[in-house]
């Protein structure tokens, strides 16, 4: 595996990083184990001081961190700055609330007294993706470090500069050696790490294929794991939706991060009465996007993360068309240097088309026309994924009822606003299991121990 920064805007190879040897890996694992021996006994206040300082450093240097992200994987600079801010918010959130989230829970047995006490588990191995290079790290570092664990991270091969910067961030904030370690390692080294008895939990955000492989290996080793494996979220538009408001969210929901978001609008399910209007306005808004250098704030359409990502997405579109789908707009790469693709809308995607159950990780939207609300719900639920979803209607009570009927981990009414540290994030079906963020996120890799007292006579 080669860890490289290749600017997706122009294809320039900016830096190649050296993978670590097995000897170096053992040194890092040993350091994490040694650090855990002391870190688990530090006070919440001591832990919070480091996390809060890291958040402060992120906010003090937004352009430094944002530019590295843009050069690593092409995120538009304004979105990159927003991610830096959100990452700082996550670290602050857990620094402030961890002690309350992990406080002992009093129980009420019929006889005697009992409580649950919560303690850390040890080293957590995290395998993270490229699409949110800091947010993905903050949402494991914030909760699991505050819980008293230590972390080893294998970040994606195409965002190595971001990986290094985040490790340096925590070190500059006062993290002891071994608390948080970035690993430039191979898949084989990763597998051996999951087998290592010192690793107590495994967290992955990635593809379904990666999830199956890593979850199976963790399971063989009887280790707890969490999996966030992407989605194909339904964006449901009812006949009473505020169309101007809806279109803005449709564009953001599909095109944020150039469409490379797990919890993104990917299947646009619109009731027949407003389908033509929606499609016309959606098409017009997408074609108005302006491609350009993602470091330029005027750019509204950035590149995909890599040439490989672009080639793979184009092949998916070609396959969808070969199986009967129609391209309303786009479908091709842009005639310019870099990993740019035209915003694309596909229609007539039938259940026997491979695209029907696929995830398009880029600027490709599938459009479905349905007769009514019940048909919309049935189509939304006819998916192998179950991460998020949204419904747009002026009747919020109606939206709440519909949300309860959609089989997914998250549902949004008249928005797709998942970016709050307080809100648990995760899904069902092939979208994985476990939750990150919120109070649930810090509960993922801890031991919840029952302690009971009472003057009982032993059973005869």
What are the residue numbers of the active site? Answer: 228, 262
Closest by Cα among 228, 221, 223, 222 to 201: 223
Dist CA 377 CA 388 (whole Å): 13
Closest by Cα among 275, 214, 215, 291 to 241: 275
Which residues lie closer than 8 Å to 349 by C-beta, 6 or more apart? 320, 324, 325, 355, 356, 366, 368
Dist CA 87 CA 129 (whole Å): 15
Closest by Cα among 55, 58, 69 to 257: 69
């Amino acid at each position: 595996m080669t860890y490289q920064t290749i600017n997706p805007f122009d294809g320039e190879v900016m830096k190649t990083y050296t993978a670590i040897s097995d000897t170096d890996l053992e040194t890092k694992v040993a350091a994490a184990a040694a650090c855990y021996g002391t870190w688990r006994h530090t006070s919440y206040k001591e832990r919070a001081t480091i996390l809060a300082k890291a958040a402060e450093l992120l906010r003090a240097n937004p352009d430094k961190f944002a530019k590295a992200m843009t050069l690593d994987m092409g995120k538009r600079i304004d979105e990159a700055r927003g991610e830096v801010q959100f990452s700082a918010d996550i670290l602050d959130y857990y620094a402030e609330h961890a002690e309350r989230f992990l406080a002992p829970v009093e129980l009420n047995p019929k006889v005697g007294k009992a409580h649950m006490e919560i303690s850390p588990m040890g080293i957590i191995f995290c395998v993270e993706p490229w699409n949110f290079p800091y947010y993905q790290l903050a949402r494991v570092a914030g909760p699991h470090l505050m819980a008293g664990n230590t972390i080893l991270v294998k970040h994606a091969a195409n965002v190595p500069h971001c990986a290094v910067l985040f490790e340096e961030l925590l070190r500059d904030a006062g993290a002891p050696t071994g608390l948080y370690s970035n690993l430039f390692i191979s898949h084989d080294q990763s597998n051996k790490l999951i087998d290592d008895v010192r690793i107590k939990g495994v967290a992955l955000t990635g593809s379904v294929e990666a999830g199956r492989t890593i979850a199976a290996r963790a399971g063989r080793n009887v280790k707890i794991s969490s999996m966030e494996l992407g989605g194909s979220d339904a964006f449901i538009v009812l006949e009473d939706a505020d169309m101007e408001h809806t279109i803005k969210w449709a564009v953001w929901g599909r095109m944020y991060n150039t469409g490379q978001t797990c919890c993104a609008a990917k299947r646009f399910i619109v009731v027949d009465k407003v389908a033509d209007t929606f499609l016309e306005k959606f098409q017009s808004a997408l074609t108005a996007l302006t491609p350009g250098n993602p470091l330029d704030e005027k750019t509204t359409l950035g590149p995909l993360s890599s040439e490989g990502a672009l080639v793979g997405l184009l092949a998916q579109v070609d396959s969808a068309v070969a199986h009967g789908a129609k391209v309303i707009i786009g479908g091709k790469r842009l005639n310019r240097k870099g990993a740019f693709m035209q915003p694309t809308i596909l229609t007539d995607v039938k259940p026997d088309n491979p695209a029907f159950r696929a995830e398009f990780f880029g600027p490709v939207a599938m459009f479905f026309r349905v007769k009514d609300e019940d048909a919309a719900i049935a189509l939304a639920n006819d998916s192998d994924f179950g991460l998020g979803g949204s419904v747009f209607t002026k009747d919020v009570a109606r939206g709440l009822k519909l949300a309860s009927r959609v089989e997914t981990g998250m549902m949004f009414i008249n928005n797709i606003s998942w970016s709050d540290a307080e809100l648990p994030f995760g899904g069902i079906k092939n979208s994985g299991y476990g939750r990150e963020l919120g109070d649930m996120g810090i509960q993922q890799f801890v031991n919840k121990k029952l302690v009971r007292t009472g003057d009982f006579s032993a059973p005869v």
